[in-house]
Amino acid sequence: MAETKKCPYCSEEILIDAKKCKHCGEYLDDTLRPKIQLPETKVVAKEGCFLQTLNVGCIIIVVIIVVIILIGIIASLQR
């Protein structure tokens, strides 16, 4: 009888040499795992949103500073 081990994903008995679980379909060898299911896209999307909100905040701050400078220039010209 072939040696078996427990699948770390579904705890079903699988062959010790198995590269892929026959019960849940998970790859036991990371080198064989398809690189489609990387969660990096979500991280990138979050960073993009963060950067976008940061950019909007920067633009608002810059506009406020420019308005304050313009008000100062106008006030100094009216003396």
Q: Are 20 and 28 in contact (CB under 8 A)?
A: yes
> Minimum distance from CB of 26 to Zn ion (Å)?
5
Per DSSP, the three-state class of 3 is coil
Nearer CB in complex with Zn ion: 16/74: 16
Q: What are phi and psi of 27, to 5 degrees?
A: -80, 130
Per DSSP, the three-state class of 4 is strand
Nearer CB in complex with Zn ion: 10/60: 10
For Zn ion, the binding residues in 14-43 under the rule CB under 5 A are: 21, 23-24
- By CB under 5 A, name the binding residues for Zn ion: 7, 9-10, 21, 23-24
